[in-house]
């Protein structure tokens, strides 16, 4: 394939970006009163406003031409059809099958995966109902009061983010905890308030070999056995979510307590699978089904809407426009919703692990930027922290504002305050404040001529900083499912546009490989050979009592 950067669609966009560089969002809005309706759309339960992006109709036409040149539609269809688009791991990518709500077959290597999917969902329902209704109990007959999910990365961030987001749907009778960090503090602090007799551990690990998860699970098992004084308690208090049924057995989880998933479910795309058991335990299986329904609605939108009205495609194209043509290399996720406080961390993994790649699908180094740096925090907190840089820094960040029209928490008029802040911030980013406006403001406030001249540059906001605003009717299981699926598909489309494989993660392997070698040095065991001087020096610093200050 000809290099992307020499392709017709890419060149056309470059030329267009050069020509339009000087056009400010103020001028774009002034020139086109229909801009809001032209550059917004409904995608299932989510409304997407992208009118505050630095685009016009011609930009969008050229972006859609890029999507067609890169075969977005056939790549999308290949994913839904179970083709092995995860080339380096030789796997299908079928997280969409996990939420397929139609009674149809979905094939991987000629085998219909749907009977297995439905069976696990049925077992998740049975088990979560049993625990929630107090029918499935601990070893000594105690009703479970606490669920501790032990997992990391994709086996933690998704369920954690959803359980936090769906707080209004949770029951007080069953508390949820998530332990991911191998730092003993995470497990120790979680367990200190818990009673072994009423605690259920959910060990979530696709491979069931991940060092951190296995260490935490082993420590939790010891805590349980010590607390209850009987090793037989393990089979009553441990559940495993995994593709590795041999390893779950070796750990001591009985087959009836193992919830299976499959290699065609990527870790960061796995909350829809058995990995979602902690969600089902927290909010009930009916709510979990609604989450799947919402994701399915977005899947159908992504499958069927023409590119020009396809929200994941549009968001992906806008991201590429910002990053590759406007030179904006960071993307900030700003949920104006405290319940979505872990969404930025979830999106960070989804995006950066999927598209943080430097070779293309043919194994050749790319000569263009791929995935952006993704970060974020809920508004309004971020406004009192890093928004300074967003408004007046030298680096431009593309922003997504995410907000729900209705709240679950009608406290005073606070929801209106939240909405007002959300809209005010995207407005300030887009339109800024000119130096003349800053001067007039100072004059109106009675500043002297000298003070006005001195302060005006500091009070000037350049604006022209692009953002999308995503509006949900209300944060429900269904709208949350749709929101997550929207981002999943956006990330996938960007991978296609950049011709990179979004579903492997070789970049996380090196650290996993090197850790055991360093561990043996920390333990004072000999290793294959000396390591670099810095690591050797740090090992000495961390292991020699006298040097620690
Ligand atoms: C996700 C990644 C990674 C993975 C964790 C946990 O896509 O592959 O974050 O989820 O490393 O892996 P296990 O589930 O195998 O423990």
Average pLDDT over residues 439-451: 98
User: Helix/strand/coil (H, E, C) string of 347-398?
Assistant: HHHHHHHHHCCCECCCCCECCCCCCCEEEECCCCHHHHCCHHHHHHCCCCEE
Give the whole-number percent of the chain exceeding pLDDT 90.
93
Report CA(358)–ligand 1 centroid distance (Å): 20
Report CA(441)–ligand 1 centroid distance (Å): 53
For the chain, what's the residue count?
A: 549
Between CA 348 and CA 327 the distance in angstroms is 19
pLDDT of residue 517: 87
Report CA(155)–ligand 1 centroid distance (Å): 6
Token representation of residue 145: 């009061």
Identify the band that residue 530 occupies on the pLDDT scale cut at 50, 70 and 90. confident
Listed in sequence order, the DSSP H helices in 136-183 are 157-165
Pairing of strands 397-406, 373-376: unpaired
Count of C-beta atoms within a 10 Å radius of residue 191: 20
pLDDT of residue 548: 47
Give the residue from 484, 442, 548 showing the smallest Cα distance to 342. 484
pLDDT of residue 446: 97
Closest CA to ligand 1's atom 8:
267
pLDDT in tens, 297-355: 999 999 999 999 999 999 999 999 999 999 999 999 999 999 999 999 999 999 999 99
Q: With a 6 A CB cut-off, is 266 part of the ligand 1 pocket?
A: yes
Report CA(252)–ligand 1 centroid distance (Å): 21
pLDDT at residue 394 above 80? yes
pLDDT of residue 137: 98
- Mutation probe of ligand 1 site: the residue of 215, 251, 266, 267 with most atoms within 8 A of C-beta: 267
Q: With a 6 A CB cut-off, is 159 part of the ligand 1 pocket?
A: no
Identify the band that residue 405 occupies on the pLDDT scale cut at 50, 70 and 90. very high
pLDDT in tens, 417-433: 999 999 999 999 999 99
If phi over 0 gives left and psi between -120 and 50 gives alpha, with beta otherwise, what is residue 353?
A: alpha
Closest CA to ligand 1's atom 2:
267
Between CA 361 and CA 513 the distance in angstroms is 24
Contact 266, 503 (CB under 8 A): yes
- Mutation probe of ligand 1 site: the residue of 95, 154, 158 with most atoms within 8 A of C-beta: 154
Q: With a 6 A CB cut-off, is 180 part of the ligand 1 pocket?
A: no
pLDDT of residue 187: 98
Q: With a 6 A CB cut-off, is 502 part of the ligand 1 pocket?
A: no
pLDDT in tens, 166-192: 999 998 899 999 999 999 999 999 999
Identify the band that residue 223 occupies on the pLDDT scale cut at 50, 70 and 90. very high
pLDDT in tens, 466-511: 999 999 999 999 999 999 999 999 999 999 999 999 999 999 988 8
Token representation of residue 526: 């000999």
Q: Which residues are catalytic?
A: 353, 384, 512
Q: Which atom of ligand 1 is nearest to the CA of 266?
A: 7
Report CA(42)–ligand 1 centroid distance (Å): 33
Average pLDDT over residues 65-90: 98
pLDDT of residue 527: 65
């Amino acid at each position: 394939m000809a290099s992307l950067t020499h392709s017709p669609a890419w060149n056309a966009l470059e030329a267009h970006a050069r020509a339009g560089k000087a056009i400010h969002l103020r001028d774009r809005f002034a020139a086109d009163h229909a801009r809001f309706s032209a550059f917004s759309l409904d995608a299932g339960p989510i409304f997407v406003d992208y009118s505050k992006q630095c685009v016009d109709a011609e930009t969008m036409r050229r972006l859609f031409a890029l999507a067609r040149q890169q075969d977005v539609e056939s790549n999308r269809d290949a994913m839904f059809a179970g083709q092995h688009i995860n080339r380096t791991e030789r796997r299908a990518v079928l997280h969409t099958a996990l939420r397929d709500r139609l009674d149809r077959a979905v094939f991987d290597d000629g085998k219909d995966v749907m009977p297995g999917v439905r069976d696990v969902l049925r077992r998740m329902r049975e088990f979560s109902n049993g625990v929630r209704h107090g029918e499935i109990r601990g070893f000594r007959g105690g009703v479970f009061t606490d669920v501790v999910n032990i997992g990391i990365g994709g086996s933690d961030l998704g369920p954690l983010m959803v359980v936090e987001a769906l707080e209004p749907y949770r029951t007080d009778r069953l508390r949820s905890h998530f332990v991911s960090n191998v730092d003993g503090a995470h497990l120790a602090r979680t367990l200190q308030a818990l009673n072994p007799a009423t605690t259920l551990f959910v060990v979530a690990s696709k491979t069931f070999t991940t060092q951190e998860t296995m260490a935490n699970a082993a420590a939790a098992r010891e805590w349980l056995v010590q607390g209850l004084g009987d090793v037989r308690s393990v089979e009553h208090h441990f559940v495993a979510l995994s593709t590795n049924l041999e390893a779950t057995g070796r750990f001591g989880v009985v087959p009836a307590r193992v919830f299976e998933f499959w290699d065609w479910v990527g870790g960061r795309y796995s909350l829809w699978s058995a990995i979602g058991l902690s969600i089902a335990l927290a909010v009930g299986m009916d709510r979990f089904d609604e989450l799947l329904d919402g994701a399915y609605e977005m899947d159908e939108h992504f499958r069927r809407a023409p590119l020009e009205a396809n929200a994941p495609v549009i968001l992906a194209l806008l991201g590429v426009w910002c990053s590759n043509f406007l030179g904006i290399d960071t993307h900030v996720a700003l949920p104006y919703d405290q319940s979505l406080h872990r969404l930025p961390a979830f999106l960070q993994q989804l995006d950066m692990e999927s598209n943080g790649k430097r070779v293309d699908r043919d194994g050749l180094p790319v000569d263009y930027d791929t995935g952006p740096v993704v970060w974020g925090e809920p508004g309004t907190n971020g406004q009192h922290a890093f928004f300074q840089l967003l408004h007046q820094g030298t680096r431009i960040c593309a922003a997504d504002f995410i907000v729900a029209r209705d709240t679950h928490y009608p406290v005073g008029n606070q929801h209106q305050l939240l909405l007002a802040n959300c809209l005010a911030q995207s407005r300030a980013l887009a339109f800024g404040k000119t130096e003349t406006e800053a001067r007039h403001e100072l004059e109106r406030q009675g500043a002297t001529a000298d003070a006005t001249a001195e302060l005006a540059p500091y009070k000037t906001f350049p604006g022209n900083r692009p953002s999308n605003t995503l509006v949900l009717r209300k944060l429900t299981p269904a709208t949350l499912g749709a929101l997550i699926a929207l981002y999943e598909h956006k990330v996938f489309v960007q991978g296609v546009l950049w011709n990179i494989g979004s579903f492997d993660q070789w970049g996380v392997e090196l650290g996993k490989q090197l850790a055991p070698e360093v561990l043996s040095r920390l333990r004072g065991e000999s290793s294959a050979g000396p390591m670099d001087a810095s690591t050797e020096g740090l090992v000495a610093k961390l292991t020699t009592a006298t040097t620690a200050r």
